[in-house]
Structure 1
């Protein structure tokens, strides 16, 4: 069966290109370095301070990486990587253009994973209920809440659904996906207000001990921020969470913002559309506010957490910093890091073995901790 790629995740995770482009993107073998190469690099790094590296290229990894994932890893940078909308109308045009691609792929995805989707209004907020056509007995009283990624700007309406469909399909869970408001019309705190309104309403639909929150990238950051806010407001906490490659520090802070810049073929660099979206969402607010950058919040008392990233992910440091902070706070925290993957590529092709593995791992983690 042809590999299915889902433009909503391509939007959220910024994946684009074709198989032909992939073939052209595979780097040619490099010549052996000159005899004095090591000495030159040692001399360049002889003093304390920043690490200096020579120009580099990275072959597509083959060991422990499926053919489907190699194609994604090899793709060129997305065409909108340096998009710089000048006003609200230009932001909306970019968002709508990407959303149409995402929505067009949904029927095949829903049919392949055998799930149904219904629009809903929950807690006064637009949402979608994603229901597997067959729900295992153990999951019949369980309910997940999904907050989508997309840099706080991408993924309106149905365009945000693929990740919710993947976990519903692979895990057999009923999922509420929040269609939260976004910039340019609604900067912070609109998205968080909507997500919390849905969470409050959802806790009346199921026992919080049987509930989890999950999301990737922006959705991962919002998952963490929702727990911080629920703690502050003395609301019920979920039994587990899955913040995938969370944008837990919205500023350009963290080692992999530098080490994986121009290596990640999804986000590429903070200094493109990503950083512009961060500032648009923050709307003048301090980027270290824990509701924008939850890494600066107090993680004590958090529910068990599973995080996912890749070795080329621009947000790898966001993910590992979050994992270490959770562990230091005494929280049960698992970390899965995939070989060679850029930002959230574990969710970009449902036919890739890594995609089934990643979402099955999340589902099994939830199974271990929900209802306990």
Structure 2
């Protein structure tokens, strides 16, 4: 018998009601040609709700040849810190509305300018294309903004990409940003108890609903033992990471990976904190209607305000 409908008393009624719909609405189509428009429409519906709730201005720009969406909250301070947002989507989708969806609530709640990077996608562009796009934008940004006043965050694939960007900054001798956020993703295999537990919650799971990092098209030809690719196994690099906020949820297939990344950052001596939401799921904060999403935005905003000044 599935436990999918059972929740702790602290889970909001909105989240309890939303979980079954999330499972039904987020089922990935079997081929990429169908998946990209599917997730574009899915993200657009969530983005419409976000923009109705949060007052922001959006402008499409090109920085260092890369398309970015500049999201500016109404009434923000001109000298506020800047955040780079790296969207999720298995490195294969999540562009456009998906990138904006991950930026709009954070910009509004944090009161900061957010640049959502529309990096190149796989399978057309494999590693290191996405991280090269992020590095190019960051290089251009630090010409006018103090790196200590820049934060970078990402969800799912975007979290992994955030760690790749920091690794590249260190490798290339660039100053690291003031802080980073890794949400529902880490530079580790999506394995462990969290991946196994998907069968309890997700009727689509079969033998397991967790994607395999090593099988993502983005990593074709990449050496997964390279610290520039997956940094979690390299404590000497993690010791140089900036303050890091990690967020996951118990019904997230990436929760084990995120928790292990937190432990490894701690072991390396890096300032880090980890927030785990019980009863929530992968990328739960994309739905602005959930009280837990509002709580997530506040946690993220408070973290970046304190570290970026």
TM-score by length of 2: 0.90
Mark the CA change 1:84 to 1:97 in structure 2 (over 3 Å): closer, same or farther: closer
1:353 maps to: 291
CA RMSD of aligned residues (A): 2.5
Question: In structure 2, do the counterparts of structure 1 residues 82 and 172 end up closer, same or farther at CA, with 3 Å as the change threshold?
Answer: closer
Q: Secondary structure at 2:119's aligned position in 1?
A: coil
Gaps of 5+ in 1: 1-54, 86-90
**Other-structure match for 1:286:** 223
**Which digits, 9 at most, give the CA deviation of each residue in 1:324-372, with x for residues without a partner?**
0111111111111011112121x1321211111111111111111114x
The answer for unaligned runs of 5 or more in structure 2 is none
Q: CA deviation at 1:268?
A: 4.7
Q: Across the two proteins, how many residue pairs are aligned to each other?
A: 307
- Alpha-carbon shift at residue 104 of structure 1 (Å): 4.8
Q: Which secondary structure does the structure 2 equivalent of 1:94 belong to?
A: helix
Q: Distance in 2 between matches of 1:133 and 1:278?
A: 42
Hey, what's the Cα distance between the residues in 2 that align with 1:59 and 1:107? 28
Structure 1, residues 271-312: CA drift from partner, whole Å, max 9, x if none?
669349943111132334334433223201211111111112
| 2:65 aligned with 1:127 | no
- Does the C-alpha gap of structure 1 residues 243 and 60 become closer, same or farther in structure 2, counting only changes over 3 Å? same
Deviation (angstroms), 1:252? 4.8
Matched with 1:115 is 56
Assess, with a 3 A threshold, how the Cα gap between structure 1 residues 78 and 191 changes in structure 2: closer, same or farther: farther
**What's the secondary structure of 1:117's corresponding residue?**
strand
Structure number with higher strand proportion: 2
Q: Distance in 1 between matches of 2:133 and 2:203?
A: 27
Counterpart for residue 331 of structure 1: 270
| 8 Å contact from structure 2 (residues 159, 182) kept in 1 | yes
Cα displacement (A) at 1:120: 0.5
TM-score (structure 1 length as normaliser): 0.76
Q: CA deviation at 1:83?
A: 4.0
SS in 2 for 1:183: coil
Q: Higher Cα Rg: structure 1 or 2?
A: 1
Residue number in structure 2 paired with 1:77: 23
Cα offsets for 1:56-90 (capped at 9, x unmatched):
534421411111111233447346746432xxxxx
The question of whether the paired residues in 1 share the 8 Å contact of 2:86 and 2:162 is answered with yes
